[in-house]
Homo-oligomer: A and B are copies of this chain.
Amino acid sequence: MRSPRNDLSKTLTPKKAAKAKSQRSVAQKPKPRTNRESREDSVDRIYHSALRLFVQQGYRSTSIDQIAAGAGLTKGGVYFYISKKEHLMAQMLDEIAGRYIDAVIAEIEARKLTAQERLVAFMHSQVSFALECPEEVMLLVMSSVEFSKSDDMLTKKIDVIYERMRKFVVQTIEEGLANKVFKTKLHPYAAASFYVATHDGMMLEWYRRAAQIDGPELVRVFREAFLGVLS
């Protein structure tokens, strides 16, 4: 009834995320004084435990038991906060979409920029976010693979997120074409697909080879390749 279901922490910040990642696998429980602190803490630990595991092993291969262990709880403890595994994932995706797509777009729309500047700003914002919260972005990319062509709720949710991303690119390119900023013969939809393809591919490659890869250099290549295609 009054259990705190369905309102996963909105308080997660990149700092916290980064910190959590550097801790060891089973989070320590810092004996919080108040109930409120204890709740926020548990929610947070569940969120990060799930995030890490979903990215590492995939959503379907991650068990609630593993999430619980990573959060220093038992299965039942996790279910005190989430009503369904699917909902946990859905909320994670919603939050990520909000911060990685919607917030970024909103911020760009708020500024007065040319089409080209907006595209570049979009790329930079996404890259910055990915540098701060790599797992969040990876969750998106990897889920888009794990759930492609299924028919559950999560598939739809992910499709919608990607659609928003494509739409922004398409609209910006169309505007750029109208203003003669871009002069490519490429259809805007194809260009958006190329953006998404490069985005996903780079994230994957970066995740797979973080140790051996020079992130900034890859990003620079990404930008040049994409803008090159548009000119």
Contact = CB atoms under 8 A, between A and B. Distances in A.
A65 to B, nearest CB: 7
Given A146-B145, A150-B57, A193-B218, A74 B187 contact: no
Interface string A96-119: 000000000000000000000000
Interface stretch (A4-12, A121-129, A206-214): A206-214
Contacts of A217: 186-187, 190
A221 B194 contact: yes
Contacts of A206: 197
Identify the interface centre among A144, A194, A201, A222: most chain B CB within 10 Å of its CB: A201
Given A190-B217, A225-B228, A1 B74 contact: yes
A202 interface: yes
Instruction: Name, among A55, A58, A162, the residue most crowded by chain B CB atoms within 10 Å (CB to CB).
Output: A58
A72 B190 CA distance: 39
Interface in A32-82: 55-58, 60-61, 65, 68-69, 74
Number of copies: 4
A148 B205 CA distance: 10
A221 to B, nearest CB: 5
Interface residues of A, number: 53
A221 B225 CA distance: 10
Nearest to A60: B61
B218 A197 contact: yes
A1 B200 contact: no
Given A58-B60, A74-B1, A187 B214 contact: yes
A2 interface: yes
A204 interface: yes
A109 B184 CA distance: 35
B218 A229 contact: no
Nearest to A207: B148
Nearest to A55: B149
Given A1-B68, A145-B146, A194-B218, 6 more contacts: A58-B58, A190-B221, A196-B201, A197-B218, A224-B228, A225-B228
The 3 closest A-B pairs by CB, nearest first: A201-B201, A197-B201, A197-B205
